[in-house]
Structure 1
Amino acid sequence: IIATVYLFIVMVDIAPRVSVKNNLSNLDTLNKSTLWYAESEDLKSLEDGITYIVPNIVHFIKFGDNPLSFVEAVCIRAAWLHQRPETLIIHCDQCNKTVQSPLWYLIKDIPVLKLQTTVRPTEVFGIKFSYIQHASDVVRLQVLMKYGGIYLDSDSYIVKSLDPYRRYKMSIGWPPGANVGNQVLVAHKDTRYLKLCYESYREYRPDLWYWNAGVLPTERFLSVHPELVHSVPHDFGVAESDAQILYAKCDDSWKNYSAFHLFFRHIGTYVPPEPKRFGPITIDTVSKYDRNFGQLARLVLYGTTKLGASEIKSIDWLSKHPPEYSEYGCKLPPSSPKN
């Protein structure tokens, strides 16, 4: 017998809408009529063969006319290879620019890949977006509320299947002592947390980078009702300190994670010596990149973590051959030239 526990807390005293200031006390006016509830989401004790409650659909969002980047191609290949979704959707407002990208060949043959034209909003609840990334923050909520599934930022890499988290209505990375990370989300379309986050954009702060996406839901919702989600302290790799694992080390520590937010555009911020030490990490240089990100990228590009591997494998080849976790992921084999 499966028991589902519901806790109802009715919040009354509806107050007029006011603008949010730079402190949490002003959030007391937000969603005063909300009917809070929490559900026991732990389904891991159920018998084998359980039907997952989150569909095996992977979502990416790509807004703007920039071509498909190296790290985007790597992450899309990783999502397909390691998750094996039923559908992999890129929600894009200029999908033709993605198809015309020089690196399109790296992902075009993924059999479940779908490009879905999506209008990029310019405002939310009448408030104009200040950053294109804020539009993406809102659209990811809308996409998950419509379809459910797994949302990944364009630089979020699946290391191994996220199926264990598909047994929860809502899973989100929440490092200890930090705000939640919205870069990797696993959600049923009807989970309450998504609706709360979306409605909170009635108090959108365009002047604050991560207020609505991370600070507000952490402080206003999850600090009070942590049972709204299945929190993932480490396994989604969304903590800023995880950049050290990716760009300051070369070992097997990355295998202890199910996913990583790669912080690819911020390597110089979190690992300052690295850009000068190695230079730009690109499709042409990653073959020789001797840090853990190099292993991750080579695995989905070349089918092996081996340092120095350089033959890009087709999607068809990767579908027929298991990935190779080489003992030479961090050092060249004895017979290999160093240059």
Structure 2
Amino acid sequence: MRNQKRLLALSFVSLLLFPGLCLYWTIYDIVGDSNRWNGTPIPAGNVEGSSDISPATESFESLDFGGFDNETGRSFDGRLIVPNLIHYIRFNKTTFTFVDYVCLRSAYIQQKPERIYLHTNVDVNNLTGRYWKWIQSEPDLYRRIVIQPIELPSEIFGQPLSDGWRLYHGSDIARIRTMMKYGGIYLDNDVYVVQNLDKYRKYEIAMGWDEGQFLGSQVIIAHHDARFLPLWLDTYQQYHADLWYYNAGERPTTEILHRQPELMHRVKWRFGVHMLMQDLYDSMEWPDWRLNQDTIHLLINHRSYLDPHFKEYPDFNDRNIQHYPYMFGQLARLVLPKRPSSATVRRYWNSTTVALDGIVNGQRSPDPTHD
């Protein structure tokens, strides 16, 4: 037991004192003709540097998607065209909630991304909370995380964002710009990843778009050159500050995708961007949820008025989730790690200063499914 405690302490110290050793950057040098979809493979990028995390070799710096088939997708000798990067946008969020942690860990477990970008306007030294400390205490998870500074947008194409909805409209804009810059997998903070998403990384862009619905932007899997992304951003030339989901979902669906559905790989139901409140928070059984869903939008910000058991469980944490009887409890418990004793963690954090140098670069919707 004594040796186990010593080993745990050494692991914690190594994690905090040497974070720079745990994150690696890759540089892509793309060669060859990237403007053909005639069956000729495009050479993958050269990777400089090394890491025990798989290098981002399944990415291309620039592609022309003219004539690309988003029904079948395309890979090159098994190399996927969308990088295995996960992106979260966290404006004005200093604390990691239990649900934030559960969702991030579900993505880490299922996807094993090369990096997890936390795009935030919060100074890294102000990140706090029990579950942020849990993230830092898991070496393999923590070394994949990059804190990427980003400003909350205040305007778009010279038009000021809505005063009341700036945070949400700003996030809608930021996720488009982020995907245009990096490509990869964007997830809302309350999206739970059920299955590995690699099967969608062979498409130009894949998003949830259910029958009779507008586009769902909670999950975006895309190459940064996807043709839909700049067209989507351009819909903000006519920004409607008074309409909740007009620019984020309604207008790009009706004005772009209804006319050019070939621009996207359409995912119906499997991204779970529709209303699943009853399944998550009022059902003790959900048959075949693992088979039928790849991700699930937890709608966590809407529980106060849609969850019939909200008063019994107004907040979730690692203690009350152990006896929470509805389906979200099962989902959460599946991804929770075995923790060291609370006394060990408390003594550790009381005696250690977190070193973060080396990881730093750089009313709500009437339709609750769009959060």
Could you tell me which residue of structure 2 aligns to residue 166 of structure 1?
201
SS of the equivalent of 1:142 reads helix
Question: Counting strand residues as a fraction of each chain, which structure ranks higher?
Answer: 1
Could you tell me which residue of structure 2 aligns to residue 19 of structure 1?
none
Could you tell me which residue of structure 2 aligns to residue 25 of structure 1?
none
Could you tell me which residue of structure 2 aligns to residue 266 of structure 1?
302
Is 1:195 equivalent to 2:230 in the alignment?
Answer: yes
Is 1:246 equivalent to 2:275 in the alignment?
Answer: no
Q: Deviations over 1:161-204 (max 9, x none)?
A: 10000011100001111111100010000001111111111111
- Structure 1 gaps of 5+ residues are 5-35, 304-308, 315-339
TM-score of the two chains, using structure 1 as the length reference: 0.74
- Pair 75,95 (structure 1): closer, same or farther in 2 beyond 3 Å: farther
- Pair 39,265 (structure 1): closer, same or farther in 2 beyond 3 Å: same
Which one-letter code corresponds to 2:174 in the other structure? V
Is 1:41 equivalent to 2:41 in the alignment?
Answer: no
Is 1:231 equivalent to 2:231 in the alignment?
Answer: no
Separation in structure 1 between the aligned mates of residue 215 and residue 229 of structure 2, nearest angstrom: 13
- After superposition, the CA RMSD in angstroms is 2.6
Could you tell me which residue of structure 2 aligns to residue 24 of structure 1?
none
1:245–1:254 CA contact under 8 A, matched in 2: no
Could you tell me which residue of structure 1 aligns to residue 33 of structure 2?
none
Could you tell me which residue of structure 2 aligns to residue 100 of structure 1?
128
Which one-letter code corresponds to 2:295 in the other structure? A
Is 1:176 equivalent to 2:208 in the alignment?
Answer: no
Could you tell me which residue of structure 1 aligns to residue 119 of structure 2?
91
- Pair 98,157 (structure 1): closer, same or farther in 2 beyond 3 Å: farther
- Pair 45,194 (structure 1): closer, same or farther in 2 beyond 3 Å: closer
Could you tell me which residue of structure 1 aligns to residue 254 of structure 2?
219
Separation in structure 2 between the aligned mates of residue 160 and residue 223 of structure 1, nearest angstrom: 29
TM-score of the two chains, using structure 2 as the length reference: 0.68
Aligned-pair CA distance for 1:77: 1.1
1:323-334 aligned within 5 A: none
Of 312, 321, 325, 1:286 maps to 321
- Pair 52,43 (structure 1): closer, same or farther in 2 beyond 3 Å: farther
SS of the equivalent of 2:329 reads helix
Ranked by relative contact order (alpha carbons within 8 Å, sequence separation 6 or more), the top structure is 2
Of 48, 61, 74, 2:102 maps to 74
Could you tell me which residue of structure 1 aligns to residue 156 of structure 2?
124
Could you tell me which residue of structure 2 aligns to residue 320 of structure 1?
none
Separation in structure 1 between the aligned mates of residue 231 and residue 37 of structure 2, nearest angstrom: 26
Could you tell me which residue of structure 2 aligns to residue 257 of structure 1?
293
Aligned-pair CA distance for 1:44: 5.7
Aligned-pair CA distance for 1:97: 5.8
Please identify runs of 4+ aligned residues in structure 1 that moved more than 6 A.
309-312
Could you tell me which residue of structure 2 aligns to residue 63 of structure 1?
91
Separation in structure 1 between the aligned mates of residue 169 and residue 86 of structure 2, nearest angstrom: 20
Aligned-pair CA distance for 1:85: 0.4
What percent identity do the matched residue pairs reach?
Answer: 36
SS of the equivalent of 2:79 reads coil
Could you tell me which residue of structure 2 aligns to residue 16 of structure 1?
none
Which one-letter code corresponds to 1:224 in the other structure? R
Could you tell me which residue of structure 2 aligns to residue 112 of structure 1?
144
